[in-house]
Amino acid sequence: MHRCAWATDDLLCAYHDSEWGVPLHDDRLLFEFLCLEGAQAGLSWRTVLAKRERYREVFHGFDIARVAGMGERELEKALTDPGIIRNRLKVTAARDNARAALAMIDRHGSLDAYLWSFVDGQPVRNRWRSSAEVPATTASSDRMSKALKKDGFRFVGSTICYALMQATGMVNDHLVGCFRHREV
């Protein structure tokens, strides 16, 4: 069975085989990926994925309203938790992004509608043959990043936005030779 080259161990293979690239339309899960992709900045996805369950506990299952309501004391406590990445800017960004997400939900009806608007509501189906062909950013991720920043989101550079788009199936970047390419 052929997989994308980055799926190099059991944890990454399980994620690759069941989640990565599958179109996702649940606001809570989209918010989770937005937070986790931001937490990944400068680190490996494997590092974040290994801490994912603890992130879910610390950030209330990524319930957007609950994360938006996290106070300074709760954020300070999170910064002492070795089960997450203890970067003050990334931890506070989760709360700030939840507040921005609530505003987007009010304006657009859902976080799903807002984020998927950057790909016109339909997955972009790429046909890459090698990992070297897969871009780190695209014009769509550039637009998403610019809009998210304007709307008050943090840790949403174009590379992070493209990773979000890949993870949540807004783009299918499974290589053509990967068994998941046709499945998603």
Active site residues: 15, 37, 45
Q: Are 1 and 179 in contact (CB under 8 A)?
A: yes
Cα 26–chain centre separation: 12
Give 79's contacts (C-beta < 8 A, 6+ positions apart).
86, 88, 91
Give the integer Cα–Cα distance in Å for 109 and 74. Answer: 29
Give 32's contacts (C-beta < 8 A, 6+ positions apart).
55, 56, 62
Give the integer Cα–Cα distance in Å for 156 and 162. Answer: 9
Give the integer Cα–Cα distance in Å for 67 and 64. Answer: 5
